[in-house]
Structure 1
Amino acid sequence: MHEAVLKQMPHPEPPGSPGTKARTSLKLLSFNIQVGIRTNAFHHYVTRSWQHLLPHTRRQQTLEQIGRLLRHYDLVALQECDGGSLRSGFINQVEYLAEAGQFPFWYQQLNRNLGRVAQHSNGVLSRIEPAEIEDHPLPGLIPGRGAILARLGKGQHSLLIIVLHLALGARAQDRQLRYVRELIEHHRHVILMGDMNNPLEHLLSRPALKGLDLIYAEETLHTYPSWKPRHALDHILITPDLELRKAEVLDWTISDHRPIAMEVGLPECLHYL
């Protein structure tokens, strides 16, 4: 773990914008954007695989569409972004989406640095200035998975947000979830969000998450594959002192995952955020 440097857009939100109002709730979104590649069928993983290495003219249009979507949310978790390499036209996609979505604060977590070839990253975009950002590489046999810890507010009445992208294998996931539990188990107000590569019932049955009493949407929210969702792989989980007001998967097929959204009610002690 190391403390990270939060980035700020050069033109912060003007007075009276959503980021400056007293808050009783937060609108959250988690989205695996697949580096801006449009995958609308399984055969596209083969026919469009070159886009993981080389730039494509339509990628910029895809990012613009995503940016317009993000404007409706207060805090966004991004997975499978590129931090600025050949395939993205040397554009930091987290920074680009922060600007397109009109977020004053953003952070890019670089998980696999392949130089000019690829900059595999997670990201967080926020309308509220975090008091703290931490970068946590997650354990695993193959390095390259990470979690971002963003703390909104200070002290015992702060809100801890963990943005993560878990590994595919069960053994690696167990290690990673145990690591995440150590970050959150003594904190009262927590949001876990990201691509967890596992159905919710499997995640919640893992010893690492037992006893946390995490709240989640009652209905199953399928996010993958985007063109015909059958698997719930992306999740937003909250601790009991937060209120789940609304949760939904958006009907977007711009990536191979659909984005998942949640509105969370905040207790009175967090209204100052």
Structure 2
Amino acid sequence: MKILSCNAGYLLGYQNILGGYVPPPVGSLLGDAETERRKLEQLVGVIERERPDVVSLLEVDRGSHRTITGGQFRTLVESLRERGLSYGGDVANKYGDGGIVELLPFFGHLANAVLSRTDRLATTHYLSAGRKRLVIEMELAADTVLFVVHLSLGARSRGRQLRQLAELIAERTDGRDVIVTGDFNTFAETDELDAFADRTGLETRVPGETVPSRPLDDLLVTSRSLDLFLCSPSIDVERCDVLDVQLSDHRPVVLETGR
């Protein structure tokens, strides 16, 4: 089983503006057709090379004024199909389900997604803490469940989210093996995941640094390993790597297991 996890950054690319602390201002507001085409092609190429069974895909645009597509998730699936790769899956608003934010013209199009090469059911959940609250659950096998997350930037909200996520895992897995992946926003080291790992019985698997080094990082952050995995101890992890591809301000990560 191979899982690829990628924060696509709405296919806006990565520009070193003010040391990397500011996203591209025009692209963030209006979009950038050339960059979006290039990054979509790059993302398709990564998936084609790796051939993952499942893709955790964060920060995709479902069709706002900023994208040249009718929806980046749908366009990605169609582009993969043109290359002979059949993926299905689900995409959902990252902020809430049927709330005020989802109804707003711009924020209602901002989403996370999961793709799979086989017919796997995806279930969405929303945590009560933080702004980015979506959790996508997918059954990988009869005995293994995947959870895809994109946690809050705020440490207090993130702590509450991790406690709720631990409760959700206990409710939904019924003793089955678990893999959790996504963007954990752990700028303050992955030590803050220790309590979550203790509650869930999971082991933290850190592929490496997934965001570029910035000039003031030594003052502002203590870790650049934001995208990672937590796995049940019984899962045989054969590979856990950062891919050397700068798709956005994050690099993709891959986990390969022996089952």
Aligned match of 1:183 in 135, 156, 168?
168
- Would you say 1:135 and 2:124 are equivalent positions? yes
Distance 1:114 1:246, change over 3 A: same
Q: 1:213 to 1:254 in 2, by over 3 A?
A: same
- Which residue in 1 is equivalent to 2:6? 31
> How far is 1:96 from its partner?
1.8
CA contact (8 A) 1:215 1:244 kept: no
SS in 2 for 1:253: coil
Partner SS, residue 185 of structure 2: coil
- Identical columns (%): 31
Match of 1:41 in 2: 16
Secondary structure of 2:157's match?
A: helix
Preserved CA contact (<8 Å) 2:39 2:247: yes
Letter in 2 for 1:95: R
2: CA distance between counterparts of 1:212 and 1:47? 35
Deviations 1:83-133 (A, max 9, x none): 111101253112222233334311101124364434111110101211x32
**Which residue type is aligned with residue 62 of structure 2?**
G
Structure 1 gaps, min length 5 = 1-25, 267-273
Task: Say which SS state the counterpart of residue 94 (structure 1) adopts.
Answer: helix
* Mapped partners of 2:9, 2:243: distance in 1: 16
CA deviation profile, 1:168-199 (whole Å, cap 9, x unmatched): 11221122112211222343211101000015
Q: C-alpha root-mean-square deviation of aligned residues, in Å? A: 2.4
State the Cα distance separating 1:45 from its structure 2 match: 5.6
Q: Distance in 2 between matches of 1:81 and 1:50?
A: 18
Alignment of 1:55-134 (within 5 A): 55-58=31-34, 59-71=36-48, 72=50, 73-101=52-80, 102-112=85-95, 113=102, 115-118=104-107, 119-130=109-120, 132-134=121-123
Q: Distance in 1 between matches of 2:147 and 2:29?
A: 29
User: Counterparts of 1:227 and 1:114 in 2: how far apart (Å)?
Assistant: 35
- TM-score, normalised relative to structure 2: 0.81
Quick one: which amino acid aligns to residue 67 of structure 1? V
Matches of 2:23 and 2:157, distance apart in 1: 30
Q: Distance in 2 between matches of 1:256 and 1:47?
A: 9
Q: Does 1:222 align with 2:199?
A: no
Residue 240 of structure 1 corresponds to 233
* Contiguous gaps of at least 5 residues in structure 2: 96-101, 218-222
Q: Which residue, 140, 143, 148 being the options, matches 1:152?
A: 140
The 1:242–1:225 alpha-carbon spacing in structure 2 relative to 1, beyond 3 Å, is same
Cα distance change, pair 135–252 in 1 and its aligned pair in 2 (3 A): same
TM-score normalised by structure 1 residue count: 0.77
Distance 1:259 1:162 in 2: 17
Per-residue CA distance 1:218-261 (angstroms, 9 max, x = gap): x6610012789961011112111211101110111221001111
Look up the match of 2:151: 166
Q: What CA distance in whole angstroms lies between the structure 2 residues aligned with 1:204 and 1:82?
A: 29
Aligned residue among 12, 15, 26 for 1:50? 26
Amino acid at match of 1:53: L
Letter in 2 for 1:161: L
Q: Matched residues in 1 for 2:103 and 2:24: separation?
A: 20
* SS of aligned partner of 2:182: strand
| Cα displacement (A) at 1:143 | 3.2
